[in-house]
Amino acid sequence: MGTVAAHGLCKSFGKVQALDGVTLDVPDGSFFVVLGPSGAGKTTTLRAIAGLEKLDAGSVHLDGRDATGDAPADRDLAMVFQNYALYPRHTAYENIASPLRARRCSSSEIAAAVERMSRLLHIDRLLQRRPAQLSGGEMQRVALARALVRSPRAFLMDEPLTNLDLKLRVEMRTELTRIHRSLGATFVYVTNDQVEALSMADQVAVLKEGKVQQVGTPTEVYERPANQWVAGFVGSPPISLLACHAEGDRLVGAQGWTLPRPRWTTAEDGRALLLGVRAEDLSVEQRGNASLSGQLYGLEPLGDRTVVDVQVGSEILKVKARPTVTGTPGERVQVTVDLDRAHLFDADTGLSLSEAGR
């Protein structure tokens, strides 16, 4: 068992409202990712669940039992910190053994558990070293081993891969997913990296300014963003947003373009809207069922693809194209739009208007 339920978490630091009614339900055994930009309250959420932060309001239930007032030690959780927080005076072995020592396990039990963990994470050669003698990746593994050495209710991870270089981060991503699968334990994982969120999560909660914007599977969050902000935050290159309104069977852009009105939208005529289209649903190579004309603004070759920036009026569209695409800035470009995969948002509230008709 290992369910974590946080309800209506509120926390302010002075005048800053870090958490403003955050509610998360983490099912047993899931890899639950809390995604958001820095300052969104992700770490505070995690610390509140761990009991390291005193809440202004809200409750934390662990396995269905109210644990809001419990000390961190009584919650049976393990945490990996962003900066690892390895005890500097202790060897890697002693760091990993610490949770077991705190629980007064026998030294033979401890030795066996540390041995098992260090093998799993390939750090068995480093056990006698101190944190200062370890590289970033090694420290990260020791911190992970310290959390994994016992079987708590849930593992809390606070951006554990942020301080690693890119190659190691990709490796550890795979490794963490593997560990999660083999343990079948509950993971609550905080990150600002959408790639981590989309690639590792069973469930993603998108957080902004202390409020949960959307909870769903990675596919849901990517394919059906609940609002304009989530659409803009998740996805790279970012989604293109164009101001427009509906007029009969057409969408009329603020920059003078017109497109056929998508069948699925129910927005009434004249309401201020934002049309959101992802780069892969736009094309400069004749595809899709509607087109916009603009000027080539710039090319961004990324190896496997090229992102083409097209200026339509004063707005820039990000278009994904084949790496072979060429062009000179200023030249006229016709962009086709796959309207069936586009999104419409209310320009005032930012809420998605796409769901109703689909």
Partner 1 sequence: MAVSVDEAVSTGPARDRTPPARRLGGRGRSALEVALLTVLAVVMLFPVLWMIETSIKENRDVYAVPAQFFGFTVTMDHFKDVFVGPDGGRSALSVAFLNSAVVAGVSTVLATVLGVPAAWAYSRLAVKARKDQLFFILSTRFMPPVVVVIPIFLMYRQVGLIDSKLGLILIYTAFNVPFTIWMMKGFVDEVPAEYEDAAMLDGYTRLQAFWRFTLPLLVPGIAATAVFALIFSWNEFVFAIFLTSSDSVRTAPPAIAGLIGGTTTDWGLVAAASVVFALPVLVFAYLVRKHLVAGVTLGAVRR
- Interacting residue ranges for partner 1, rule: CB under 8 A: 47, 50-52, 54, 71-73, 77-79, 81, 83-89, 98-99, 101-103, 130-132, 136, 146, 163
42 vs 146 by CB, closer to partner 1: 146
Nearest-approach distance from CB 100 to partner 1, in angstroms = 9
334 - beta bridge partners?
Answer: 293
Burial class for 250, CB neighbours closer than 10 Å (0-12, 13-18, 19+): middle
Please say which residue, 189 or 229, places its beta carbon nearer to partner 1. 189
Find the shortest distance in angstroms from Cβ 56 to partner 1: 11
Amino acid letter, residue 119: R
Query: Is the Cβ–Cβ distance between 155 and 125 less than 8 Å?
Result: no
**What would you report as the CA-atom Rg of the chain, rounded to the nearest whole angstrom?**
24
Question: Which CB atom, from 38 or from 314, has the smaller least distance to partner 1?
Answer: 38
Alpha carbon distance 140, 80 (integer Å): 9
Kindly tell me which of 12 and 59 has the beta carbon lying closer to partner 1: 12
What minimum distance in Å lies between the beta carbon of 87 and partner 1?
6
Q: How many helices (H) and strands (E) does the chain have?
A: 8, 20
Rounded to whole angstroms, the Cα distance separating 231 from 283 reads 19
- Nearest distance in Å: CB 72, partner 1: 4
Q: How far is the CB of 52 from partner 1 (least distance, A)?
A: 5
Task: Return phi, psi of residue 309, to 5°.
Answer: -95, 125
Whichever of 88 and 256 has its CB closer to partner 1, that residue is 88
